[in-house]
Amino acid sequence: MKNTMIMETEASYSLNFLLYIQNIYLNRHRSMEDQRFPYLTLEVEFKADFEERFQLIWDKVLQRISKDPLIDLKIFRAEKDLFYQHLIMDYSVFLDIYSSFKVWWNSFAGRFAIERATDETGQSLYTALANSLVEKRITSQKRLRVSLLYDECILVKNQYSAYFAVIPIEHFHTKFEELVTQVEQTIS
């Protein structure tokens, strides 16, 4: 049997922006040594039921991106108020967070670095998945899309759907075998 799998990886603007907001939210109650990027000194007032709202908006954005990956940038740019309306009370503070994210994301330390951080291990993931599928005589029906996150999303658990996986770059290096198994389940 021949390998028919095609895998594409990219770092989502919208999901990584949500992760950025999640980390600002979580950092409020963490010690300095447990802080996650970004560390901001802004006073941010979040909506009262932030964690529920976060889960809902994450699921909505994830579903849209999994169906059409090209919509990601549109969500991030043209629908940015969606994030503000659901998660943050003060619009001017939201704009500061949005601008801070854009500056980082568009630098070499942002999106570019995230996508390059998985070059070699991403190829290893592809090879492991392709070999496993051939061995199990499973034919990939469509393109596998992998969306890379700069950090772990703590407020959302399931980040897999058919032919779509959202993976923190750290997992490529620390949980590789588990990762192969989880991603393979999106295909078979």
pLDDT of residue 140: 87
- Number of domains comprising the chain: 1
pLDDT of residue 120: 94
pLDDT of residue 33: 94
Pick from 179, 140, 133, 134: which is nearest to 163 by CA?
A: 140
pLDDT tens, per residue, the chain with 188 residues: 788 899 999 999 999 999 999 999 999 999 999 999 999 989 999 999 999 999 999 999 999 999 999 999 999 999 999 999 999 999 999 999 999 999 999 999 999 999 999 999 999 999 999 999 999 998 888 999 999 999 999 999 878 889 999 999 999 999 999 999 999 999 87
**Domain limits at 70?**
7-187
What is the pTM for the complete model shown?
Answer: 0.95
Domain assignment of residue 1, yes or no: no
Domain assignment of residue 172, yes or no: yes
